[in-house]
Amino acid sequence: MHGITLAMILSHLVDSYGWKELGKRIDIKCFNDDPSIRSSLTFLRKTAWAREKVESLYLYTLRKERQANEKEDGL
């Protein structure tokens, strides 16, 4: 994921799911208790297992979005 920052990943996920759904998919306090991009980035930069879950969900989300776009385009 060269060139993609953690902030970009997190923003994409929040745009795609919203904080509530993101907190359900990855149950961590920074997503469920007064969430913000800033507090989440602070936590994710210090916590490798949580960052790995976020990155994994991001890749999954990109694949699903690409598949949906291909269906729309008739590919």
In this prediction, residues 5-21 reach a mean pLDDT of 97
* Number of domains observed in the structure of the chain: 1
Supply 10's token pair: 């997190």
Q: In the structure, what pLDDT confidence band is assigned to residue 15 with cuts at 50, 70 and 90?
A: very high
pTM greater than 0.85 (yes/no): yes
The pLDDT score that the predictor gives to residue 75 is 59
Q: What pLDDT, in 10s, does the model give residues 23-65?
A: 999 999 999 999 999 999 999 999 999 999 999 999 999 999 9
Q: Could you tell me if residue 25 is inside a domain? A: yes
Residue range(s) defining the domain that contains residue 39: 6-72
CB contact set of 14 (below 8 Å; sequence gap of 6+): 22, 37
Q: What span, in angstroms and rounded, lies between the C-alpha atoms of 51 and 65? A: 21
73: three-class secondary structure by DSSP: coil
CATH label of the domain that carries residue 40: 1.10.720.30
